[in-house]
Amino acid sequence: MPLVQRLSETLIDQIAAGEVVERPASVAKELCENAIDAGARAITIDILEGGMRRIVITDDGCGMSPDDARACLERHATSKLRQEPDLKQIGTLGFRGEAIPAIASVSRFYLTTCPNPEAARVQAAWESERAVSPPSAKPNQLGTRLLVEAGKLVSFDEVGAPPGTRIEVSDLFFNTPARRKFLKRPSTEATHLIETVTRLALARPEIAFRLTSNGREVFSSPAIKRDIRERVALALGADAYPHLVPVELTRGNIQVRGHITSPDHTLSTSRGIYTFVNGRFIRDRSLVAVIQRAYADVTMPGRNPAAVLFIDLPLDEVDINVHPQKLEVRFADAQAVTGCVYRAVQEALRTSPWLDAESSKMPSSQLPPSPSLGEERPTYEAIWGRAHSSSSEPLPRHSYASIPLSFRPRPGVVLSPISAPSQSVVGDEPASAEPSDATTGFFSSLRIIGQFAATYVVCEAPGPRLVVIDQHAAHERVRFHALREAFRAKKPKLQPFLIPMTLELPPAEANILADNADALREAGFEIEPFGGSAIALKAVPVELVGCDHKAMLIDLAGELFQVGKGRAFDEAMEHALATMACHSAVRAHQALDLKELRALLDALDAVDFNTRCPHGRPVAAQMTIPELEKEVARR
């Protein structure tokens, strides 16, 4: 036998399916894109067991004739390409003719379709800005129904059917068990599918989408023509709606439009950044990095903005045929595109209403209001610099060395609760400012001088040395240690609510949290689904009472979305616990009394890595006598 042989058609189909069909979400993506290209104005997706058992997608698009229905089962049979030059001007979402035969080769595939001439008229009306409603339901007409199992046509019949197309994909990978075993739990697969449909709904606000999972409606959004903020809030969460900032910029033949969130609304991951090129969702690291860089001066390290940006440019200047699932593209001039995106985001941030022009006139003696959870206010040096911006002399820059990581934790010290802000400490109670006789750790040995700017604890150390401690970073480290140890021991202290708190979350985040309810209980959160994308929060860790629980849960879901179980899951939980600690720690510009300051220093000696906050920022800085004398020119 010759060494080189042609593969069988069955094996060829399964190889092609491996490139197109990764999981149920891939099936939903390909079939919904076909529906969009067919001019649908309403798409319904119904899934069972995360799509592993069944996916049903119904649209009111143009439908197909019997001949077209049979032809669409053949590989590389498409209505979207005719000649070679068309490859350089692709304006549709699907074009290769691989999706349907690839999906049908690894499932039980049912197709019911009926021509719908009305769809073309409605699509043209929407595109020309005319107010025309989607076509209403019509009585059944003569259509086509076919069944394909594992790539083989089983039946082909004429049936009564409404105009449009209905596709049912059952028992995905039933004939390829080796691939089916790589699928995750149904709830995890449902989360990926929800995220996929959400991206399509964002890209096409003029199309009505409805998604149900196991008979429960996950989300439903009517068609929107002009103000798409409601559709954006569907993906980012209702809390993002008041923080949305419009973006619009055109440079040459590149246009960037959409919405971003103000720096007052940030996330712990970059999941909230959605980028679309010519109406197609893409995952481009350089674009995400550019958006994050545009926010660099106005957000805390480790926090990410949310954005829904549409990038439109000539079709021949972008190659969308570089990824099997069409999630990546190649730009003819990538630098021009990223530069336009950066400028668009920067201009939107610079001119948006969230900026308060009067803040630049704030006197340095006026304390800014207490910051919202998860937000850091500008330093006093920054406020002083803005208030005295007319001065030609720059403020001095100090480079105090951070305290080395050589101090050992001292067990047995528990931080007393930090109370509400009280009168600022100025050292008028020296007795309570002295180190405790029972303490031997470094921080416990410090003599408290006072609190500066209601943010920094100023202390004297042996040497003598001046030590300045960031109270937020210090308390964040203490809180993180307590949360982490409780999670590792699986013995969190829960604070139940008398009446459960109902929280409305983005659909994907709600599904992730429901899927990980048992693991979240080990971290101190007791939740259960409450219908749709709502959850009922019944208990929280005692350390987090009074915090913004909704923001914390969204951040937690963002971490869990990117990992599976095992060690990676534990690492994601530690990231989430660090975020929780940040939310619950004492804030900058919050005055504390001497007892609270002493309790904070004592508690620092009881935790590990106590010279850094969980996000890596130094807890303290020190200055020696020679360094101080150099600054005041005594030498």
Question: Residues 241, 291: one domain?
Answer: yes
State the pLDDT at residue 359. Answer: 33
Residue 552 pLDDT: 79
Q: How many domains does the chain have?
A: 4
What is the average pLDDT value for the chain, to the nearest integer? 78
Confidence at residue 185, expressed as pLDDT on a 0 to 100 scale = 87
pLDDT greater than 90 at residue 172: yes
Strand partners, 165: 59, 113
Q: Are 152 and 26 found together in one domain?
A: yes
Q: Does residue 435 come out as left (phi exceeding 0), alpha (psi in the -120 to 50 range) or beta?
A: beta
| Report for 49-58, 111-120, 416-425: range of highest mean pLDDT | 49-58
What is the Cα–Cα distance from 325 to 195, expressed in whole angstroms?
A: 15
Instruction: Give per-residue pLDDT as tens, 502-556.
Output: 888 888 888 888 888 887 888 788 888 887 788 899 988 887 777 778 887 888 8
What is the CATH classification number for the domain harbouring 113? Answer: 3.30.565.10
Mean pLDDT computed over 298-310: 86
Binned at pLDDT 50, 70 and 90, residue 85 comes out as low
Within a domain: residue 624? yes
Residue 395 lies in a domain: no
Q: Report how far apart, in Å, the C-alpha atoms of 162 and of each of 25, 46, 61, 63, 567 are.
A: 26, 18, 11, 10, 50
Q: What percent of the chain has pLDDT over 90?
A: 24
Predicted pLDDT at 91: 72
- Whether 394 is covered by a domain: the verdict is no
Helices and strands in the chain, H and E counts:
19, 23
- The reply to whether 392 falls in a domain is no
89 and 160 within one domain:
yes
If you average pLDDT over each of 115-129, 159-173, 482-496, which comes out highest?
159-173
Q: Tell me what the mean pLDDT of segment 308-332 comes to.
A: 83
Angle ∠(406,409,410) on CA atoms, nearest 5? 135
DSSP category for residue 331: E
- Rounded Cα–Cα distance for residues 113 and 157 (Å): 11
- CA–CA separation, 478 vs 364, rounded Å? 31
45-77 per-position pLDDT tens digit = 999 999 999 999 999 998 899 998 898 888 777
Chosen domain end from 340, 365, 387: 387
What is the pLDDT confidence band of residue 435, given thresholds at 50, 70 and 90? low
| Residue 94, in any domain of the structure | yes
Decide if 24 is inside a domain.
Answer: yes
Question: 330 with 361, same domain?
Answer: no
Structure tokens at 592: 């504390």
Report whether pLDDT(22) > 70: yes
Assigned domain for 82 exists: yes
At residue 469, the pLDDT reads: 93
Q: What is the mean pLDDT of residues 429-434?
A: 51
Say yes or no: 336 and 274 in one domain: yes
* 431 and 531 share one domain: yes
Higher pLDDT, residue 534 or 321: 534
Cβ distance 292 to 300 under 8 Å?
no
So what's the pLDDT on residue 311? 93
When pLDDT is averaged across residues 159-180 and rounded to a whole number, the result is 90
363: tokens are 């006197």
Q: Is the pLDDT of residue 86 over 50?
A: yes
Look at residue 421 in the predicted model and tell me its pLDDT.
37
Using pLDDT thresholds of 50, 70 and 90, give the confidence band for residue 563.
Answer: low
Q: Is residue 387's pLDDT more than 90?
A: no
- Asked if the model's pLDDT at residue 108 lies above 50, the reply is yes
Inside any domain, residue 501: yes
Q: What are the respective helix, strand and coil percentages of the chain, to the nearest 5?
A: 35, 25, 40
Last residue of a domain, one of 198, 221, 244: 221
Tokens of 326: 């069409």
Residue type, 451: Q
Is 199 or 299 the better-scoring residue by pLDDT?
199
Q: Tell me the residue range of the domain where 305 lies.
A: 229-351
Residue 336 and residue 206 share a domain: no
Do residues 425 and 459 make contact, with C-beta atoms less than 8 angstroms apart?
A: no
Per-residue confidence (pLDDT) for residue 329, from 0 to 100: 82
**Average pLDDT, integer, range 174-195:** 88
Structural tokens at position 137:
């339901």
At 398, the pLDDT band (50, 70, 90 cuts) reads very low
Dihedral pair phi/psi, residue 39, rounded to 5°? 85, 20
- Evaluate whether 447 touches 413 at the Cβ level (below 8 Å): no
Q: What is the CATH number of the domain that holds 318?
A: 3.30.230.10
Percentage of the chain with pLDDT > 70?
77
pLDDT band at 165 (very low <50, low <70, confident <90, very high): very high
pLDDT of residue 119: 67
Residue 510 pLDDT: 86
CATH code where residue 544 lies: 3.30.1370.100
Does 468 have pLDDT greater than 90? yes
**Structure confidence at residue 224 (pLDDT):** 83
Considering 56-65, 311-320, 391-400, the range whose residues carry the highest mean pLDDT is: 56-65
Same-domain check for residues 51 and 165: yes
Give the CA angle between residues 386, 388, 392 to the nearest 5°.
110
pLDDT for the residue 415: 42
**Averaged over 201-205, what is the pLDDT?**
92
Q: DSSP E strands: which ranges in 180-316? A: 208-213, 216-221, 244-251, 254-261, 273-277, 280-282, 307-312
CB contact set of 184 (below 8 Å; sequence gap of 6+): 23, 564
Is the pLDDT score of 267 beyond 90?
A: no
- Quick check: 423 pLDDT over 50? no
0.95 exceeded by the pTM?
no
> Mean pLDDT, to the nearest integer, of 583-599?
86
Whether residues 299 and 320 share a domain: the answer is: yes
Residue 87, pLDDT score: 63
The predicted pLDDT at position 160 comes to 87
Q: Are residues 207 and 255 in the same domain?
A: no
Q: Residue 432: pLDDT above 60?
A: no
Q: Residue holding tokens 């005319």?
A: 130
268 versus 340: the higher-pLDDT residue is: 340
Q: Is 353 left (phi over 0), alpha (psi -120 to 50) or beta?
A: alpha
Q: Does residue 479 sit in the same domain as residue 616?
A: yes
**Do 233 and 182 fall within a single domain?**
no
Band of pLDDT at residue 120, cut at 50, 70 and 90: low
The larger pLDDT score, comparing residue 7 to residue 96, is at 7
Q: Of residues 81 and 443, which shows the higher confidence score?
A: 443
For residue 237, name the pLDDT band (cuts at 50, 70, 90): confident
Q: Which comes out higher in pLDDT, residue 146 or 14?
A: 146
